Amino acid sequence: MKLEQDSYLPLRDVVFNALRDAILKGELHPGERLMETHLADTLGVSRTPIREAIRMLEKEGLALTIPRRGAQVAQMSEKDLEDVLEVRDALDALAVKEACERITSERLSALEVNMKQFEKAVEKGDIREIADADEAFHAVIYDAADNPKLASIVQNLREQMYRYRYEYLKDKAYHALLIKEHKEIYDGLKAKDRENVKDAMHRHLENQIDAVRQVIQEQSK
């Protein structure tokens, strides 16, 4: 017997997911207007769920509404990026510290599997797959930290740069480095060497900064 779990999702959530994906994939560009009636027509729903979805995007930092002028896809300045990365750096350090203490052998195996999948995705050159594998790899670490609040905050911070990260993942020059860094993080976690993992994670993040910064500078031209 199988119960039909969660076959239902409120339209506001469907709309929210659709818009978030569109923003993160870059289909909706920063600054682009999010007009209620237009979105309602496009997505084939009424304005009610659209408006609720926009409020949620707002709180996630993916949209910005100016009263009486409507919502638009959030811009991200270089300063914003640096701010986000600074916070992520601190939270990654925390996550890694906790993960070192708590990670199980099962999770370590999962991490290894994800690491391999990342390498395979890189070989194939499928950007989408690379991005997903990277997400999965890091998700295991956040889960291992056993702090859902931390995980959700970091997830949100990651999402904020997702748009730009996607661009730089296209550049194959970084791929080998990423594989090497994941290996270092994995080895460190396996050895439960807190300081080493923290440093590896920090370098992993640092290396993204310049790359993403370039993307932003390109786009603002």
Partner DNA sequence: TTGTACTAAATCTGATACAATTTTTTTCAT
Partner DNA sequence: ATGAAAAAAATTGTATCAGATTTAGTACAA
**Interface with its own copies (CB under 8 A):** 8-10, 12, 48, 51-52, 55-56, 58-60, 67-68, 80, 83-84, 86-87, 90-91, 93-94, 98, 147-150, 153
Closest CB to DNA among 4 and 106?
Answer: 4
**Taking Cα atoms as reference points, which of 12, 193, 218, 217 lies closest to residue 100?**
193
**Taking Cα atoms as reference points, which of 53, 55, 73 lies closest to residue 63?**
73
The span from the CA of 206 to the CA of 1, in Å, is: 50
Which stretches of the chain are DSSP H helices? 11-24, 36-43, 47-60, 78-102, 105-124, 127-144, 148-169, 175-190, 194-219
Closest CB to DNA among 52 and 129?
Answer: 52
Residues 33 to 52: which contact DNA by CB under 7 A? Answer: 33-38, 45-49
CB of 177 to its own copies, least distance (A): 26
Report if residue 11 touches DNA, rule: CB under 7 A.
Answer: yes
Closest CB to DNA among 5 and 104?
Answer: 5
- Residue 123's identity, in one-letter code, is E
Selection from its own copies, DNA, none that 71 binds (CB < 5 to 8 A by kind) is: DNA
Residues 14 to 33: which contact DNA by CB under 7 A? Answer: 33
Selection from its own copies, DNA, none that 45 binds (CB < 5 to 8 A by kind) is: DNA
The CA angle 8-13-19, to the nearest 5 degrees, is 135
Closest CB to its own copies among 44 and 67?
Answer: 67
CB of 176 to DNA, least distance (A): 45
- Residue 30's identity, in one-letter code, is P
Selection from DNA, its own copies, none that 38 binds (CB < 5 to 8 A by kind) is: DNA
Three-state DSSP class for residue 33:
strand
Closest CB to DNA among 12 and 138?
Answer: 12
Q: Spell out a b/e string for 130-148, using b for 16 or more CB atoms within 10 Å of the CB, else e.
A: bbebbbbbbbbbbbbbebe
What is the phi/psi pair of residue 30, to 5°?
-50, 135
Q: Please give the residue ranges that form the binding site for DNA (CB under 7 A).
A: 8, 10-12, 33-38, 45-49, 65, 67-71
